[in-house]
Structure 1
Amino acid sequence: MRTKQMSIMKKIFIIILSAISLHASAQVAPADLKEMVQHSFDHYAKVRSMETQQRIAAGQIELSKADRLPTVDGTASYMHVYPVPKIQLPGSDFTFQPVPSENVNAGIEARQLLLDFGKTGSRIHQHEAEAKLLGAQTSEVKEQLAYQVANAYLGIAYLNDNITVQEANIKLLEETEQMVENKLKHGDAIDLDLLNTRVKLESYRNKKVDYVNALRKELATLEYYTGDTLQDSIHASFEWPVAGVVLADEGFLNNSTVKTAIEKENVASMGVEFAKTQYKPSLFLDAGTGYKNGFLPDVNTPKFNYNAGVSLSVPIFHGKKLRTQERMAAQQVEVAKWNTQDVKNNLRKEVIQQQSEVTASKERLLTAEALLQQAQRALQLAQSRYKNGVITYLDLQNAQTSMLEAQLAKIQYQYQLSISSLALLQLNGNEFWR
């Protein structure tokens, strides 16, 4: 009875996790981010290269299918032969010449595959599997590109927020500078207080320059991915993404890396099938027609001729080459399966790490929120008391520093939470750009 209850609870737990995952997957990404991702697909050179390779693979399938169609060739040849055999008949001026010295031949030759016991079919299947692999690899490249764009997008949100905080603190210090100057005029402050304020103010301005420079670099990265001149048109925030729960192997089936690994297994399996068919015979129909000379009794006059027949090619001995190819193909299957297992093991590790990071970032963010509220309240009190001469300039400076650190810490934890959530979406194979 207890086992049955535990089984029911486990099913309910899985349903709840699935609902959470679906809710996260259904979350809508910002419209401007979706647009940038679509532009990157059209612009990024590696994606265009992969799409071209897909077209080449489709052409390879057509070539394989064409092996089942007849081949027809036109032929024409001329050959002068010297010496040629001649027989002088006794008692006569007549000379018998069995072959011409001027040989001419013009005609059409055709060959049709009648039966190859699955060799052509297995080759077609192999090329189809390779085309599917290229499709999976193209999707994987697109997914990686989309998440690179999303990472840059969140990086812009991080830098914009830092710039905003830095500007607010610069304004605050400018007000403090004015306050200290007024106190200095009335003899309630010393030159050192004003000097410290100005040094700190310049430090904040320099830090803002660093953030602005980093923002420009991030925008340049996005322009590289998308081909668009973005300037200051992006208004990103940390409201997106929210990560879902990845459910073991069931969740990994949507992961593009796993899909690619599975397609590699299929290609390797088709390689084994193709290697086995190389032992089988091939039956051909051969035919030809045209005009050529060399027919008795008048060997110099071209005559109409034709031929038709069948030919059978049977592999007998190739120096263990075919057996070696089959063994190597089977080993490729084993390698592909181990690669798939390694990919899944790595994904499990990544999921655990990112879920741990999400949990930790949420806890840090709650603490940062509380600290920020306390820092804001402490700064208000410090400003009021400094004006009234109750505390020293050093106390005011400490309150301002604590305020800045709390603001920056909150932004940092928001950013870390968003990056980890984005990583979980990628591990789950979430195509947010659709």
Structure 2
Amino acid sequence: MKKILFMICTISALGASAQQVPDNLKGMVQHTFDHFAKIKAMETQQRIAADQTQLAKAGRLPEINGVASYNHVYPVPKVQLPGSDFVFQPVPSENINAGVEARQLLLDFGKSGSHIRQNEAQASLLNLQTAELKEQLAYQVANVYLGIAFLHNNIAVQNANIHLLEETEHMVENKLKHGDAIDLDLLNTRVKLETYRNRKVDYENSLQKQLANLEYLTGEPLADSISTLFEWPAPAVQAADDYNSNATVKSSLEQEKVAETGLLAAKSQYKPSLFLDAGTGFKNAYLPDVNTPKFNYAAGVSLSVPIFHGKKLRTQEHMAATEVEVAKWNTKSIKDNIRKEVLQQQSDIAANKERLQTAEVLLQQAQRALELAQSRYRNGVITYLDLQNAQTSMLEAQLSKIQYQYQLSVSSLALLQLNGNEFWK
């Protein structure tokens, strides 16, 4: 009996002191980063975004094209000189042109630069969104980890109480043989014993589901890697008022930058563009022998000035300005929501700490009460109902303490996420 009580006391002390983040949990998070398909997709999108930035920068480089054309024209103008067999033909019927053409942007008054900055901002946003997804997955893994530890501890409590009831069953059987107990006491003990065993099955079923969830996230079976002694430490530092370290806020602020660069790009459409155009090659149609291809070249500059586009540019600018406004309101909404969640989690942490202190006292009292009840029942001083009440109180005290420890860890973990803590690094 003392061995059973020692086992219960040991189980009740699980997670009593805060520990550092387990290394195996950090490893699980890295497994998730390497395995999860959505992260792979976003990392691929990052490469596409980098290519789009290079594509925008390529707009400043010269464009060189080889050209070749052939045209047959009929009829063509011909003039026969009076008194002569000579026929003057200013245009050939067979037109041939082969050469190289080039265009180089000389000046666009920041138009191409605004498009480059817009693409760079979009690439940066995608990087932050990938980091945000990684953070969400990391904390999802941590929550599953805590859930598995919680279920392991509950199963351990059930096992200890099952052993305790099995000892009680033997005690009642012995008393029944000597006429000191009744059949109802033995029947009640066995009913309660089966109830505890069914609860254990329920916990084991939930545990298997959580392990399957962990394997889905990490891509590997890691059932033997969970520390049941782990309790997440409550953060001592409160979140800053701006919450700029939060991953969601970072992405939202970057979305504002993307919208602002989009507005600058929309405004730059009103600016002119100056190009250098050049070309060289061989073609015919040169007098006096219009049929013989000749070497030629041309060079010059061209200026393109937007004048009227049916209010299209003005509408695009208005839409871009509206997107900036929407992005700013979205950031404010996110920060307001985080502020609310921080206050709620802090309240939960304070309440669970207080509950946990009360649960510690109740557990000590329940342990002492059970010891006295077992001794008195063995000596025939109290009834079986008194012993059963002491055992029930002991179980409830154990489960309450584990539940409050778990709730405290979950709230602490949520507050760390709101603060943007990257525990896996």
TM-score range, shorter chain: over 0.9
Task: Show the counterpart of 1:180.
Answer: 172
- 2:51 aligned with 1:59: yes
Task: Show the counterpart of 1:148.
Answer: 140
**Deviation at 1:28?**
4.1
2:182 & 2:20 partners in 1: Cα distance?
56
2:292 & 2:412 partners in 1: Cα distance?
86
* Deviant stretches of 4+, over 4 Å: none
**Deviation at 1:290?**
0.9
**Deviation at 1:82?**
2.7
Task: Show the counterpart of 1:301.
Answer: 292
- 2:87 aligned with 1:130: no
2:229 & 2:244 partners in 1: Cα distance?
30
**Deviation at 1:89?**
3.8
Residue pair 1:78, 1:103 contacting (<8 A) in 2 also:
yes
Counterpart among 227, 239, 244 of residue 236 in structure 2: 244
> 1:32-57 CA deviation, whole Å, 9 max, x = no partner?
11111111111111212222111111
2:345 is matched by which residue type in structure 1? Q
Residue pair 1:244, 1:425 contacting (<8 A) in 2 also:
no
- 2:208 aligned with 1:219: no
1:358 & 1:109 partners in 2: Cα distance?
71
Moved more, 171-180 or 241-250: 241-250
Task: Show the counterpart of 1:405.
Answer: 396
Residue pair 1:238, 1:418 contacting (<8 A) in 2 also:
no
- 1:388-403 equivalences under 5 Å are 388-403=379-394
**Deviation at 1:95?**
3.2
1:234 & 1:412 partners in 2: Cα distance?
18
1:304 is matched by which residue type in structure 2? F
> 1:263-298 CA deviation, whole Å, 9 max, x = no partner?
111111111211111111000000111111222222
Question: Identity, % of aligned pairs?
Answer: 75
Task: Show the counterpart of 1:6.
Answer: none
TM-score (norm 2): 0.92
Residue pair 1:292, 1:302 contacting (<8 A) in 2 also:
yes
Task: Show the counterpart of 1:23.
Answer: none
**Deviation at 1:257?**
1.1
- 2:273 aligned with 1:282: yes
2:216 & 2:82 partners in 1: Cα distance?
93
Task: Show the counterpart of 1:19.
Answer: none
Aligned partner of residue 299 in structure 1, secondary structure:
coil
Task: Show the counterpart of 2:191.
Answer: 199
2:317 & 2:186 partners in 1: Cα distance?
83
- 1:330-409 equivalences under 5 Å are 330-409=321-400
- 2:174 aligned with 1:170: no
- 2:111 aligned with 1:119: yes
Task: Show the counterpart of 2:422.
Answer: 431
2:381 is matched by which residue type in structure 1? V
2:422 & 2:185 partners in 1: Cα distance?
55
2:228 & 2:276 partners in 1: Cα distance?
68
Aligned partner of residue 341 in structure 1, secondary structure:
helix
Counterpart among 308, 314, 318 of residue 305 in structure 2: 314
Moved more, 410-419 or 318-327: 318-327
Residue pair 1:246, 1:427 contacting (<8 A) in 2 also:
no
**Deviation at 1:401?**
1.0
> 1:320-371 CA deviation, whole Å, 9 max, x = no partner?
2212222221221111111111111111111110000000000100111111
Task: Show the counterpart of 1:327.
Answer: 318
CA RMSD after TM alignment: 1.5
Runs of 5+ consecutive residues of structure 1 not aligned to the other structure: 1-26
- 2:241 aligned with 1:272: no
Residue pair 1:28, 1:432 contacting (<8 A) in 2 also:
no
**Deviation at 1:91?**
4.1
- Number of aligned pairs? 407
Residue pair 1:248, 1:348 contacting (<8 A) in 2 also:
no
Residue pair 1:153, 1:236 contacting (<8 A) in 2 also:
no
Moved more, 123-132 or 415-424: 123-132
